[in-house]
């Protein structure tokens, strides 16, 4: 496991409260591995729908499931960036997971970007996403509406301004006549499916959109993180850090390096989670 490899050169302290300061050169290998793991987790738990514009530009709406594995990857990268490892790392990680689990909700990060973000010399387009009508569908034909959502997502979004992002949360279960039914029971749901019946572009209806994220396989296997060391395009370990804004969709188009896009998208997700916006 990546955690074992990351800690293998670190001595086990005698006290559970011991904090170990690590020199940068001692962290470089594990940090690259941890960041590769984060990038893989962000990509694995995300799906994107694109709205094509007449001027060959596009708007992308990415939905990312805030899974326990993703939280784990973010937490590990934050510890490495800080350069301080506590001996009770597992307990601290569990505390972080428990704080999110206490919400008793299923969390998704919704990111709206456009190839024309922050452009004043392009034609502006406005989309309207009915966030409160984004349905989480399960294998038992149960449809759930968001219990909470960041209201900036429910406002008209201009393609020439900054990206817009926020959280959408669904209940863990829905009470029906036959009792409480789990929204995402891993026994039956192999995919996470979120649908919206329509997204208006410049006040004109378009068509339904669907985001599908693989959830649980029929047969579990030991899919451990890739152990290869991932070196960013620049090779600069200092760039393995949170990023305030998501990358421009131009980085994820044909003819570009998808690794560079997902590297920056992972840094952005890292920033959103560690800011406490959950």
Convert the pLDDT of each residue in 61-82 to its tens digit: 999 999 999 999 999 898 888 7
Flag the least confident range among 12-26, 51-65, 108-122, 145-159.
12-26
Which is more confidently placed, 218 or 152?
152
Q: pTM for the full model?
A: 0.83
- Over residues 79-114, the pLDDT tens digits come to 888 776 666 777 877 887 888 888 889 999 999 999
State how far the Cα of 164 lies from the Cα of 157, in Å rounded to an integer. Answer: 7
Which tokens belong to 182?
Answer: 């789990």
- Domain coordinates in residue numbering, the chain: 2-222+243-274
Give the tens place of pLDDT for each residue, 185-199: 888 889 999 999 999
Above 90 in pLDDT, residue 13?
Answer: no
Instruction: Provide, rounded to the nearest whole percent, the portion of the chain with pLDDT above 70.
Output: 78
Instruction: Kindly write down the DSSP assignment for every residue of the chain, as one continuous string.
Output: -HHHHHHTTSPPPSSTT-EEE--HHHHHHHHHHHHHHHHHHHHHTEEEEEEE-TTS-EEEEEEEE--HHHHHHHHHHHHHHHTEEETTHHHHHHHHHHHHHTT-EEEEEEEEEETTTT-SSS---EEE--GGG-EEE-TTS-EE--SEE-GGGGS-EETTS--EEEEEEEESEEEETTEEEESS-TTT-SEEEEEES--EETTB----EEEEEE---SS----PPP-SPP--TT--GGG-S--SSPPPGGGGSTTS-HHHHHHHHHHHHHHHHHTT--
Mean pLDDT of 20-31: 58
């Amino acid at each position: 496991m990546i955690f074992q490899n990351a800690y293998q050169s670190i001595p086990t302290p005698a006290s559970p409260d011991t904090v170990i300061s690590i020199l940068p050169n001692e962290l470089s290998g594990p940090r690259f591995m941890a960041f590769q793991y984060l990038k893989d987790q962000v990509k694995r738990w995300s799906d994107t729908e694109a709205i094509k514009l007449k001027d060959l530009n596009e708007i992308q709406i990415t939905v990312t499931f805030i899974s326990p594995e993703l939280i784990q990857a973010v937490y590990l990268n934050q510890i490495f960036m800080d350069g301080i490892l506590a001996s009770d790392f597992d307990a601290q990680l569990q505390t972080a997971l428990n704080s999110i689990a206490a919400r008793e909700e299923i969390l998704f990060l919704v990111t709206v970007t456009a190839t024309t973000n922050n452009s004043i010399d392009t034609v502006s387009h406005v989309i309207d996403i009915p966030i409160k009508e984004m349905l989480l569908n399960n294998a038992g034909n149960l449809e759930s509406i968001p219990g909470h959502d960041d209201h900036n997502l429910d406002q008209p979004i201009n393609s020439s301004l900054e990206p817009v992002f926020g959280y959408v949360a669904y209940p863990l279960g829905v009470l029906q006549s036959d009792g409480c039914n789990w929204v995402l029971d891993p026994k039956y749901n192999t995919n996470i499916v979120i649908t919206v019946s329509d997204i208006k572009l410049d006040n004109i209806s378009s068509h339904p959109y669907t985001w599908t994220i693989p959830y649980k396989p029929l047969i579990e296997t030991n899919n451990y993180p890739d152990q290869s060391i991932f070196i960013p395009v620049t090779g600069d370990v200092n760039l393995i850090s949170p990023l305030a804004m998501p990358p421009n969709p131009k980085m994820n188009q044909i003819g570009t390096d998808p690794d560079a896009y997902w590297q920056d998208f992972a840094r952005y997700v890292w920033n959103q989670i560690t800011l406490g916006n959950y």
